[in-house]
Each structure stands twice: as structure tokens, then as C-alpha cells.
Amino acid sequence: MKIAGIGFRQSASTADLRAALALTGCAQPDALASVTVKANAPQMQQLATEMNLPVIALAEADIQGLETPTQSPRIQARFGTGSLAEATALAAAKQGQPEATVQLLTPRVITDNGLATAAIAQRTTT
């Protein structure tokens, strides 16, 4: 199962989220994921509808302290993890199966305008 973790600023459009996902090279993940406030945002819901994908909404506590390969000081201060996209992808891939092994297939990518990020994680064992 491949999960696309998505992070974005409030001013990002659905097109920005789509562009971030395209930068990962994963044309069709199995689900999109982010923290609840972003998962429920109109632009995330629109992208999910367009792609016919479920959205996994994670509590901020689900990603706090999660080690990520890339680091954003702003995200670290706000969410307690280095990358919202990487952390939500990893946490969502493991959700419901705490013994599962997950790996980051694509580290965080950032759109040219800096408004959206995405990362892809995959559950490798259950």
C-alpha cells in the first residue's frame, strides 16, 4: 500500500497539491494522508475526489516525534516532526498495523512556489 503524505500552506490550491504529488513520480497512490485540519481542507478533499482516493486524517499526536529524513524548522516547531509530508505518509502507512514495516519511497518534494509538499511511503510487511 502506497500512501501520499501531503503538507501545504492554507493558500495552496488543489493544483498545488496535484503538482506536489506529481513531483513524487507516484501517479496513483492508494490513499492521501495529512493531519486532520489539512485532510479536511477543501483543496485536499477536491484532490481526493478527482483521484477517487480515500483521505487518512491523522491527529497531530500521531506524528509528533516521528523521525524524518528531511527537516523544516517551521514544521518542527509547529508539528514536532521534521516533515509533515514524510511523517503523515509514514504514520498513515503503519496505521492499524503497529508491527508493520514501512519505508519512505520518495522523500519530501516541494512545489516551485513552496506552497505544497508530498512524500510517498509504503507498507512493506504486515
For residue range 36-54, list pLDDT tens digits in order: 999 999 999 999 999 999 9
CATH number of 2-125: 3.30.420.180
What confidence score (pLDDT) does residue 102 get?
93
- Phi/psi-derived region of residue 90, left when phi > 0, alpha when psi is between -120 and 50, beta in every other case: alpha
What confidence score (pLDDT) does residue 126 get?
58
Pick the closest to residue 49 from 10, 17, 8, 92 (CA basis). Answer: 17
Statement: the pTM of the whole predicted model exceeds 0.85 = yes
Position 69 pLDDT exceeds 80: yes
Burial class (CB in 10 A: 0-12, 13-18, 19+), 46: middle
pLDDT band of residue 97 (cuts 50, 70, 90) is confident
